[in-house]
Every structure is written in C-alpha cells, then in structure tokens.
Amino acid sequence: MAERFLAVDWGTTNRRVFVLENGEVVGTARDDKGVTSVQDFAAEVAGIRQRFADLPMLLAGMVGSNIGWRLAPYVAAPAGVPEVAAGLLRIDAKTAIVPGISTMDNGRPDVMRGEEVQLLGAVEAGLVPRDALLAQPGTHCKWVDMTDGRVTGFTTAMTGELFALLRKYGLLATQIGGEVTRGRAFLQGVEEGCRRDLAASLFGIRAAKMLGTRDDDDAASFASGLLIGADVAARLERNGHDTVHILADPALGGLYAAAVEAHGRHAHIVDSHAAFVAGIIAIRDQS
C-alpha cells in the first residue's frame, strides 16, 4: 500500500487518471480522451506519466477491449480480486490492463469491462457486504450477485440506452424529452414496468397523449419509471436479497432506489468513486 502508482479508468468516451499513494488519491484528472478518440495508446500512456509521474500504471475499462489498446481476455465468473489480478494483461514491466469478467449464467452470455473494479472495490472498502446484490445503473445497467466477495453472476440490461434511443428518435421523441423527476408519474411507470411488456407499455405513452389521460409534462418521468421498473422487476423476481446496493451518482441512483423501494426492498446508494479507488488498490496489491 505504500507504493505509489497510477490508475486510469479508461472508458469509451472519457477517462480519469488517479495518482495513488498509501491507499489515498493524491491527484486526479478527467478528460474526454476515451478509447474511441485515441490512436496511439503507447504515446498517451507516456504522456500521462510525463504529466504525473513515471510510476507503475494499471488501466481499466474499454482500453482492454477490441476497440482499445490491447484485448485483455475476460476472466470467467466466479471472479474476485485474486482472479482479476491474476488475469492482468502485462503490456510492459510497469504497465498492465485489468481484464473484464464474463458469465454464461443460465445459458445467457454476459460481459463486463471496467465495472469489475468498482464492484470488487465496494466489497474491499467495506461499503457493501461480501454477499450482496449490487446494481450499477447507466447506459448498460449491471446487476451483480456478489458471493463471499466474488462476482458469481450478473446481468446487463441496456435500460439507459433504450431510454436514450426513445428520447432521441422515433414516435415518442417529441413526448419524452423532458426532465425526469422522482414523483408520482415515475412511480406509475415503475408499476407499469411490472407487466414486463415494454413494447406495449411504450405505445401506451402515445395513446395516453391521444386520449388525454396523462399530461405530456409527466411523460418523460413515466417512461423512465417504466424502463427502470421493468429492469428492477426482472432482476428482483429471481433474487431474494433484502437490499440492493446501488453504485451511481445520486440522480440516477435515486431513481433506481425509488423503483427498488416500490418493490418493497431496501436501497443503499454507494460512493462509486471510493469503490473504484479501493478496487484498483486491491487489484494492485494482489497482483
């Protein structure tokens, strides 16, 4: 833990650099140089060292995908910090890429890349129990079964992406572009989501406008509630945990928390930034 090192959370559209020392963040910077805007990764990495310090470096996220620098093969679940650390892809003596995790749970393939650092870190930092259900809402929401500190199974739902597509394109775009608030319309959407019948429930948003049964000011919140509600309903149907530990910013995390509570479970919002830091330090320590 005494050792200093650099960590980069390197996603598709942006990246964040951390300078870590004695388990603490002593420097950080964020920019929009995601993997899709980078051609020469070796030069970028040299630039990061030049800017911060010539230290060992761990890279996590899409930088290890087929659109990144080098492909770091997925580690199969169940996977904890030791398995992920053992799967590091070494670029050179002081640079390595953290692998993602894959599963074939119930014959359904699923993958994560980058999220594993936060998830395992949440356990390492004691932010969540070692046996828990975690959710990471976002464009592609991860739902993760953690057993004794290891990722034992997970499901990804493209809930955020569907909402974004519907807001931008197609029939509902003119209706659901507004602000989403955690109020009555959102909770009505969550309830509708329990039907698990998205294609029909979505058309209902149009029909409600035609028949004047819902104010269009509420349509975005209802649609968000519907999509998040269907996601939550599908996941909780097969999972008995009392509490869902949510790694997200307060706004999106709050919406998922409201949907989880509407299903009679508890929601606990976790500091995802602290979780990442704890996770990358643990991977470094065990590598």
Strands (E) located in the chain: 4-10, 15-21, 24-31, 57-61, 75-76, 89-92, 95-97, 101-103, 110-112, 132-136, 141-147, 150-157, 243-247, 266-270
| Minimum distance from residue 244 beta carbon to a copy of itself (Å) | 16
Least separation in angstroms between CB 285 and a copy of itself: 28
Taking every pair of Cα atoms in the chain, the longest distance, rounded to a whole number of angstroms, is 66
Count, residues near a copy of itself per rule CB under 8 A: 44
* Token duo for residue 241: 């945990």
Specify the residue, 90 or 168, whose C-beta has the smaller distance to a copy of itself. 168
State the sign of the Cα–Cα–Cα–Cα dihedral 149, 151, 154, 159. Answer: positive
* Phi (first) and psi of residue 173, to 5 degrees: -55, -40
Alpha-carbon distances, residue 149 vs 7, 85, 90, 109, 229 (angstroms): 22, 14, 25, 22, 27
The C-alpha atoms of residue 135 and residue 235 are separated, in whole angstroms, by: 10
User: Is residue 199 within the footprint of a copy of itself (CB under 8 A)?
Assistant: yes
Q: Which of 33, 53, 56, 161 binds a copy of itself (CB under 8 A)?
A: 161
CB of 99 to a copy of itself, least distance (A): 12
10 or 74: whose CB is closer to a copy of itself? 74
Could you give the CA distance from residue 95 to residue 41 in angstroms, rounded to a whole number?
12
Told to check if 230 binds a copy of itself by CB under 8 A, we report yes
- Minimum Å gap between C-beta 144 and a copy of itself is 13
Q: Is residue 85 a contact point for a copy of itself (CB under 8 A)?
A: no
Q: Which stretch binds a copy of itself (CB under 8 A): 167-175, 179-187, 254-262, 276-284?
A: 167-175
**Which range in 16-24, 202-210, 242-250, 266-274 contacts a copy of itself by CB under 8 A?**
202-210
Residue 184 in the binding site for a copy of itself (CB under 8 A): no
- Cα distance between the two ends of the chain: 12
Tell me the CA distances in angstroms from 265 to 82, 149, 243, 261, one per residue in order: 31, 21, 6, 5
Q: Which residues are bridge partners to 27 per DSSP? A: 19
By rule CB under 8 A, what string of x and - marks binding of each residue 118-157 to a copy of itself? ----------------------xx-------------xxx
Residue placing its CB nearer to a copy of itself in the complex, 94 or 140: 140
What are the residues binding a copy of itself (CB under 8 A)? 74, 102, 104, 108-111, 140-141, 155-159, 161-162, 164-166, 168-171, 192, 195-204, 206-208, 210-211, 213, 227, 230-231, 234
